[in-house]
Amino acid sequence: MSQKGDIGVIGLAVMGQNLILNMNDHGFKVVAYNRTTSKVDEFLQGAAQGTNIIGAYSLEDLASKLEKPRKVMLMVRAGEVVDQFIDALLPHLEEGDIIIDGGNSNYPDTNRRVEALREKGIRFIGTGVSGGEEGARHGPSVMPGGNEEAWQFVKPILQGIAAKTEQGEPCCDWVGKDGAGHFVKMVHNGIEYGDMQLICEAYQFLKEGVGLSDDELEATFNEWRKTELDSYLIDITADILGYKDTDGTRLVDKILDTAGQKGTGKWTGINALDFGIPLTLITESVFARCVSAFKDQRVAASQLFHKTIGKVEGDKKVWIEAVRKALLASKIISYAQGFMLIREASENFNWNINYGNTALLWREGCIIRSRFLGNIRDAYEANPDLIFLGSDAYFKGILENAMSDWRKVVAKSVEAGIPMPCMASAITFLDGYTSARLPANLLQAQRDYFGAHTYERTDKPRGEFFHTNWTGRGGNTASTTYDV
């Protein structure tokens, strides 16, 4: 072999194979390896036939076929397998070589790996890759973070294969040090959960409440493609709603109503709780999947409670428009919450994440790609310190314009007995966030009553704490240890 490989990829499942083919299309020479080495031959004789892709049959073989500094990308199952491959690779690598983990790793693992490998002279990148098979093959959204020294070496490859915006900008840029890339990918997945659940709530309300026919539903989603809701998930929903089974009826109606999950939505919710960020919508969307999984319990409870859904009376067209506005407004809240979480992590870990750039990374290539992300990018470019996305003039305008319809839809869903956890949580969040005064005065009084947790007073400066002996039986000592 005359010329050495630009990059090695380990893992020849759906993501690995397609990323390799994408790299090859962009002129990079790729060395492919897989634990089960028969898959290397299958790949070379199958999808990779006629390309410049080279096979490797051991990690030593892989390392020997790579240009230095070596760049090795792992596209294997996240978790222990990544650590196993790192350990197995180390004897074959030299100082300055680069390992890229492109799987869905949990960011604390990436934080740990960057540090551990830095000590060994190996530069580690943890990158989110989104867009599934199609994205991997023709342009994914790529969210790299980790050891910054490595970025210059992998940038041409990762930006080369990434999706591009209409203006030709790659949906791939440096996110930040350590696990920043994987954190942003995790939030991306959480947002995906929220977007999907919001669409499902709109679908159920219109189908079972308003009583739209299959054709009307399909037409509605096709119309929404032409609005600010224009996005990949609305596109595929329109397609799914139109898809007919062999007997001519809609296939979607025959699909069992239990949703699976792989954990990244849950991780997002757990991190929101850890960071103290009210990521209500995404967390509700994870719980909605949990409720859906209780199929047998739900069937039994529906009989026990004689559950029916009330009819939503009124002009169908008026309801469709109200639901569209409620969906759009709720989506703004979801992204606003997601960016609050990213900001909190960025400040906490000193990642220095550029929020406008993050929106750009998701603009194309990934599952949440949408026109809307272009507006988010504009909002953060205009004001990088924007704390709440809904305060940006464009988004504030949409929220205000949607407000009365949004309330009407959520109120009607409660009246009709149609579950709407995400749209309801979105408006509830906004009501709380825009309330200058909340009932937490009473809450803090309760805490002080039973646990002597103290309170601040509206008629005294912030930072002065008071304790009251509410019953006359307690002492005057405040608690420093009892936390509720």
Q: Looking at the annotation, which residues are catalytic?
A: 185, 192
**Residue 71: in which H helix or E strand, if any?**
strand 71-74
User: Is 15 annotated among the ligand-binding residues?
Assistant: yes
Ramachandran angles phi, psi of 454, nearest 5°:
70, 165
Nearest to 310 by CA among 411, 209, 408, 410: 209
Q: Is 240 exposed, middle or buried (0-12, 13-18, 19+ CB in 10 A)?
A: middle
Q: Pick the piece of the chain touching ligand NBP (CB under 6 A) from 46-54, 72-80, 208-216, 298-306.
A: 72-80
Q: What's the closest the beta carbon of residue 27 comes to ligand NBP, in angstroms?
A: 23
User: 195: Cβ–Cβ under 8 A, 6 or more apart, which residues?
Assistant: 231, 233, 331, 334, 368
Per CB under 6 A, does 38 bind ligand NBP? no
**Is residue 104 involved in binding ligand NBP (CB under 6 A)?**
yes
Does residue 358 bind ligand NBP (CB under 6 A)? no
Contacts of 255 (CB under 8 A, 6+ apart): none
Determine if 386 is a binding residue for ligand NBP (CB under 6 A): no
Nearer to ligand NBP, 14 or 273 (CB): 14
Q: Which amino acid is at 383?
A: N
188 is in an annotated binding site: yes
Q: Which is nearer to ligand NBP, 32 or 336 (CB)?
A: 32
Q: Which residues pair with 32 in a beta bridge?
A: 9, 55
We find the least distance from the C-beta atom of residue 146 to ligand NBP, in angstroms, to be 16
Q: Which stretch binds ligand NBP (CB under 6 A): 116-124, 129-137, 218-226, 390-398?
A: 129-137
Q: How far is the CB of 265 from ligand NBP (least distance, A)?
A: 13
Among 8, 16, 176, 265, binds ligand NBP (CB under 6 A): 16
Crossing angle between the packed helical segments 107-119 and 180-204, to the nearest 10 degrees: 170
The CA distances from residue 70 to 20, 30, 73, 97, 368, in Å, are 16, 12, 10, 5, 33
In sequence order, what are the beta bridge partners of 370? 231
**Min CB(395)–ligand NBP separation in Å:** 28
* 290 near ligand NBP (CB under 6 A): no
Binder to ligand NBP among 11, 139, 338, 390 (CB under 6 A)? 11
The answer to whether 12 is annotated as binding is yes
Q: Which ranges of 243-354 does DSSP label H, i.e. alpha helix?
A: 264-275, 280-293, 295-304, 316-349
The window from 74-82, 162-170, 227-235, 345-353 that contacts ligand NBP (CB under 6 A) reads: 74-82
CB 31 within 8 A of CB 55: yes
- If one asks whether residue 146 binds ligand NBP (CB under 6 A), the answer comes out as no
Backbone angles phi, psi at 32, to 5 degrees: -110, 135
Is 447 labeled as ligand-binding? yes
Which ranges constitute the DSSP H helices of 97-247? 107-119, 132-138, 151-161, 180-204, 214-224, 232-242
39 binds ligand NBP per the rule CB under 6 A: yes
Closest contact distance (angstroms) between CB of 41 and ligand NBP is 13
Q: Is residue 369 part of an annotated ligand binding site? A: no
Q: Of the candidates 23, 53, 117, 129, which one interacts with ligand NBP according to CB under 6 A? A: 129
Q: Which residues contact 404 (CB under 8 A, 6 or more apart)?
A: none
Q: Report in angstroms how near the CB of residue 244 gets to ligand NBP at its nearest.
A: 26
User: Closest residue to ligand NBP, Cβ-based?
Assistant: 103
* Cβ-based nearer residue to ligand NBP, 112 or 225: 112
Q: Report the nearest approach of ligand NBP to the CB of residue 282 (Å).
A: 18
How far from 285 is each of 117, 151, 174, 389, 428, CA to CA, in Å? Answer: 36, 35, 29, 20, 15
The structure tokens listed for 270 are: 């757990």
Name which of 103 and 209 has its Cβ closer to ligand NBP: 103
Nearer to ligand NBP, 82 or 229 (CB): 82
Task: Supply angle C-alpha 263, 33, 55, rounded to 5.
Answer: 150
Binding-site positions for substrate = 104, 130-132, 188-189, 193, 262, 289, 447, 453
Binding-site ranges for ligand NBP (CB under 6 A): 11-16, 34-36, 39, 75-78, 81, 84, 103-104, 129-130, 132
Binding residues for NADP(+), as ranges, are 11-16, 34-36, 76-78, 104
Residues of each annotated binding site: 11-16, 34-36, 76-78, 104, 130-132, 188-189, 193, 262, 289, 447, 453
